[in-house]
Amino acid sequence: MEGFVDETTIEVSSGHGGAGCVSFRREKFVPFGGPDGGDGGRGGDVIFQVKDNLKTLAHLRMRRVYKAQNGLPGGGSKMHGRDGESAYIAVPPGTIIRDKATGAVLHDFSSAQDPQWLYLEGGRGGQGNWHFRSSKHQAPRYAQPGMPAQEATLTVELNIIADLGFVGFPNAGKSTLLTLLTNATPKVAPYPFTTKIPNLGVMRVYDQDVVLADIPGIIEGASQGLGLGIQFLKHIARTKGLVFLIDLSEENYLESFKTLLDELKDFSADLALKPRVVLGSKADLDEDGSLLDGLKKSLPGETVLGVSSFFRDKLDDIRREFLRLAEKEIIL
């Protein structure tokens, strides 16, 4: 899977507040000066930030502990202790933060609009003894301790966010089609499993944006974890529609759609109910059109289109169909 990580566990901790200071003013001509102990600094926070350039959670697996700095104690002459630096944790779009013990969702970046989330606040710094002076207690020898840090163990998950997800066997032409329709540049080569991680691209047409996801090729048994398996099947769960790519050059291409659909049903019945379109890929190898006609006849009730990434024909028809699947308004 070459570095693709979509789930990991991390430990996070905010910073402890710094202690207030017990101090008294001592100057040459002021032998009995009053209290002047300063406040402790505030502990750092734990803050999650969405970074669009991140595509996986691999960086979180490399470093599993994130601790904000503690606040420093106050000093004499009412000197305030330095605040601790916050711990910023970068995550890709579509990240879900869960409590490790209960599994409860704490924050879902796929639905939230704000790209930043303050999770744990640092401890407040304690007040120095000068705060506690009074007419009755002119020399208080007490200062507040800093408030304690907060700790948590979290499960961090990544769900790819896209309008449409490409479904197909390895080498069915998904990555090539994504390249033609969007600004994405996935690795493309004429052998199976070129795609090891999901690739996203934005298709711009009629002033509308449709986000497309090229999911690594499914093999028979993927719903039971074979091949790249469940790890990537779950990433199409949030899509509005599915695009099934059937390689017309394969000998058993007429059986491909049923096999793919069965894998989706085994993984999630809801997936099989999503709006979909079937694309017969590599139509340039279907010189007389008989292969595409055979696919259409074998799938009554399904929307079936042909596509040739080599000749780049009928791409406008495909774009319009993708807009329909994504429930976008077509603006002419």
pLDDT digits (tens, 9 = 90+) for 136-157: 888 899 999 999 999 999 999 9
The CATH class for the domain spanning 1-159 reads mainly beta
The pLDDT score that the predictor gives to residue 4 is 55
Task: Give the long-range contacts of residues 198-207, CB within 8 A, separation 24 or more.
Answer: 198/4, 198/160, 198/232, 198/235, 199/175, 200/55, 200/160, 200/162, 203/319, 203/322, 205/319, 205/320, 205/323, 206/323, 206/330, 206/331, 206/332, 207/331
What's the whole-number mean pLDDT along residues 218-244? 63
Confidence of residue 29 (pLDDT cuts 50, 70, 90): low
Per the prediction, the chain carries an average pLDDT of 83
Domain boundaries, the chain: 1-159, 164-325
- Over residues 252-257, the mean pLDDT reads 91
Least confident of 22-31, 178-187, 270-279: 178-187
Of 119-128, 186-195, 209-218, the least confident? 186-195
Higher pLDDT, 324 or 187: 324
Confidence check: pLDDT of 160 > 60: yes
The single residue listed with the structure tokens 């002033």 is 207
Exposed/middle/buried for 331, CB within 10 Å: 0-12, 13-18, 19+?
A: exposed
pLDDT of residue 285: 83
SS3 (DSSP) at 262: helix
> What's the fold here for domain 164-325?
Rossmann fold (3.40.50)
The predicted structure's pLDDT at residue 185 = 52
First to last CA, the chain: 42
163-184 confidence digits (pLDDT tens)? 898 888 877 677 888 888 886 5
Q: Is the pTM of this model over 0.75?
A: no
CB atoms within 10 A of CB 64: 12
